[in-house]
Amino acid sequence: MVNKDVEKIKTGIDGLDEMLKGGVPKGHVFTVMGEFGTGKTTFSLQYIWEGLQKDESGIFISLEEDRDAMIETGLSYGWDFQPYLDENQLAVKKLTPADAEATINKIKSDLPQFIEDFDAERIAIDSVSLLNMLADTPQQKRNQLFALSKMIKDTGATALLTAEVKDENPTSSRDGLIEYTADGVVLLRYNQSDMEEVQLSIQVIKMRRIDHSRKIKPFVITDNGIEVQMEGAIF
């Protein structure tokens, strides 16, 4: 049954928003999973960009790219983040995975206050798998992930967490945890038809509280970011 009362926000990826019948429920913590190069970072930036165009504030938390790299990547898609940083509508936080303890402390102490002070409506964390590498034990990983998800939920922001998948099973996150804690899972995959071409595909595995499409659709990454080919068929 469709719950018409659920308020949704657009991801900024048109075909996906159509598959979600309007977008992601506001306040959800959802994950975008996929192998290297499937477009997770692109998705995160496109998601934040969409919010900025709608006067929403956003925080991009990266474990891979610093502020300059993020700006440069954005520009390659025609998204100029600089003015939004200047206007304090966008904040970029780089977490350095090398410094495990400091990073975890930051997440526990600084980050909640920062998100609250900034009054962020959208948050992207790229990637939660790198963050998990900071934990020593599976138990620590689980606790850290739950704490992070809860912390974000409490702020009321709608958050996107990217996750790497297992090499041997590209439909399951590397830690096998985030898909359970997250309110939603969007899966990005490579499909290979023969030795000539590889196609990218997108599907919604899970999205709590809404009726969504379960179709698998091809997509391309262009100078404008991710474009889902709604009329296209997968191999």
Please count the residues of the chain. 235
Q: Is 151 or 220 the residue whose CB approaches ligand ADP more closely?
A: 220
Q: At what angle do helices 111-118 and 138-155 cross, to 10 degrees?
A: 20
| Contact residue for ligand ADP among 76, 96, 140, 192 (CB under 6 A) | 76
| 37 contacts ligand ADP (rule: CB under 6 A) | yes
**Whether 115 contacts 91, CB under 8 Å:** no
**Which positions ≥6 away from 204 have C-beta within 8 Å?**
16, 19, 20, 184, 185, 186, 187, 212, 213, 214
- Given ligand ADP, Mg ion, none, residue 76, with its beta carbon under 5 to 8 Å by kind, binds ligand ADP
CB neighbours of residue 22 within 10 Å: 14
Q: How far is the CB of 184 from ligand ADP (least distance, A)?
A: 17
- Please give the Cα distance from 105 to 101 (Å, whole number): 6
DSSP string, 70-131: HHHHHHHTT---HHHHHTTSEEEEE--TTSHHHHHHIIIIIHHHHHHHHT-SEEEEE-HHHH
| 221 contacts ligand ADP (rule: CB under 6 A) | yes
Stretch touching Mg ion by CB under 5 A, among 33-41, 81-89, 200-208, 214-222: 33-41
| Contact residue for Mg ion among 11, 41, 46, 201 (CB under 5 A) | 41
Stretch touching Mg ion by CB under 5 A, among 37-45, 87-95, 150-158, 169-177: 37-45
Size of the site for ligand ADP (CB under 6 A): 13
3-state SS class at 190 = strand
Q: How far is the CB of 40 from Mg ion (least distance, A)?
A: 5
| Contact residue for ligand ADP among 21, 77, 100, 170 (CB under 6 A) | 77
* Residues that bind ligand ADP in the complex, under the rule CB under 6 A: 34, 36-42, 76-77, 221-223
* Residues that bind Mg ion in the complex, under the rule CB under 5 A: 40-41
